[in-house]
Amino acid sequence: MPRVVPVTVSARPDGVHPELPRDGTPLPVPTMGPVSRLAAAALVALTLLGLAVALVADLVVLRQATATVFLLLELGVAPALLARPLRASRFTLVALVGGLVAAVLTGITMATLHVWVPVPAAVVVATATVVMLVVAVRRDLRALRDGRLPEAPAVEVPRPGDQAPDPRALDRRALDPEAPAEARAASTARLPLVPLATVAGVALVVVASLLVRGDPPPGGLLSIEGPLWWAGLVLLVAAAVVAVVSRRSPALPLMSLSGAAVLSQAIAYGTPTMVSAARHVGVVESIRANGGTSTGVDIFQSWSGLFAAVAWAADVAGLRDVMVVATWWPVMISPLITLAATVLAARFLTDDGRAWIAGGLFGLTLTLNTLYFSPQSLGVVLSLSVFALALSGRPPISGARRRSRPASVAPWRLAAVLVLGCALAVTHQISPYLTTAALVVFVAFRLVRPWWLPALVLVPAVLWALSNASVLGAFLLPTAFGDVVSNAAPPAHSAATLPVPVVKTLAFALPAAVLVLLGLVALVTVVLRRGDRRAWALAVAAVSPVSLVVATNYGAEGIFRVTLFAAPWLSVLAASLPWHRLLPRLARSSARARRRAAVVVTSVALVVVVGVNVFGATALDWNRVASADTTRVTSRYEETAAAGAALLVPGTGNATPGARTARYDQVQYLTREALGGWPDTSSYDAAADEARLTSGLEAWDATERWVLVSDVVGAYDDRYGFQSYDDYTELAAAFAADDRWEAVMTTPTATLYRLSTTGAGDE
The pair phi, psi for residue 626, each rounded to 5°, is: -70, 100
Contact 634, 753 (CB under 8 A): no
> Which of 282, 305, 321 delimits the end of a domain?
321
First to last CA, the chain: 74
Residues 593-650: tens digit of each pLDDT: 878 888 888 899 999 999 999 999 999 998 888 888 888 999 999 999 999 999 999 8
Least confident residue range of 295-304, 379-388, 727-736: 295-304
pLDDT of res. 352: 87
- Asked whether residue 554 is assigned to any structural domain, the reply reads no
Least confident residue range of 50-64, 158-172, 656-670, 745-759: 158-172
Mean per-residue pLDDT for 250-254?
94
Residues 715 and 712: their CA atoms lie apart, in Å, by 5
Contact 118, 316 (CB under 8 A): yes
- Asked whether residue 101 is assigned to any structural domain, the reply reads yes
pLDDT beyond 80 at 486: no
Residues 642 and 649: their CA atoms lie apart, in Å, by 18
What kind and span of H or E run contains 710? Answer: strand 705-710
Residue 30: is the preceding peptide bond cis (ω within 30°)? no
Cβ-proximal residues to 353 (8 Å cutoff; 6+ apart), any chain: 11, 177, 243, 244, 247, 249, 250
Q: Which residue has the higher pLDDT, 558 or 533?
A: 533
Q: How confident is the model at residue 482 (pLDDT cuts 50, 70, 90)?
A: low
Cβ-proximal residues to 636 (8 Å cutoff; 6+ apart), any chain: 744, 745, 752
How many folded domains does the chain comprise?
Answer: 2
- Asked whether residue 203 is assigned to any structural domain, the reply reads no
- Asked whether residue 79 is assigned to any structural domain, the reply reads yes
Residues 749 and 711: their CA atoms lie apart, in Å, by 5
pLDDT of res. 554: 66
Q: Which residue has the higher pLDDT, 742 or 164?
A: 742
Cβ-proximal residues to 510 (8 Å cutoff; 6+ apart), any chain: 612, 615, 616
> Which of 321, 338, 359 delimits the end of a domain?
321
- Asked whether residue 724 is assigned to any structural domain, the reply reads yes
Contact 194, 253 (CB under 8 A): yes
Give residue 690's domain range: 627-755
**What does the buried/exposed string (b/e) look like for 696-720 if buried means 16 or more CB atoms within 10 Å of the residue's CB?**
ebbebebebbbbbbbbbbbbbbbbb
3-state secondary structure of 318: coil
> What pTM value is reported for the model?
0.87
pLDDT of res. 653: 78
Residues 170 and 158: their CA atoms lie apart, in Å, by 14
pLDDT beyond 90 at 330: yes
Residues 674-704: tens digit of each pLDDT: 888 888 777 889 999 999 999 999 999 999 9
Q: Directed axis angle between helix 323-345 and helix 305-317, to 10°?
A: 130
- Asked whether residue 124 is assigned to any structural domain, the reply reads yes
Q: How confident is the model at residue 422 (pLDDT cuts 50, 70, 90)?
A: very high
Residues 716 and 507: their CA atoms lie apart, in Å, by 14
- Asked whether residue 691 is assigned to any structural domain, the reply reads yes
Least confident residue range of 179-188, 277-286, 608-617: 179-188
> Which of 281, 303, 321 delimits the end of a domain?
321
- Asked whether residue 650 is assigned to any structural domain, the reply reads yes
What is the sign of the dihedral through the CA atoms of 246, 248, 252 and 255? positive
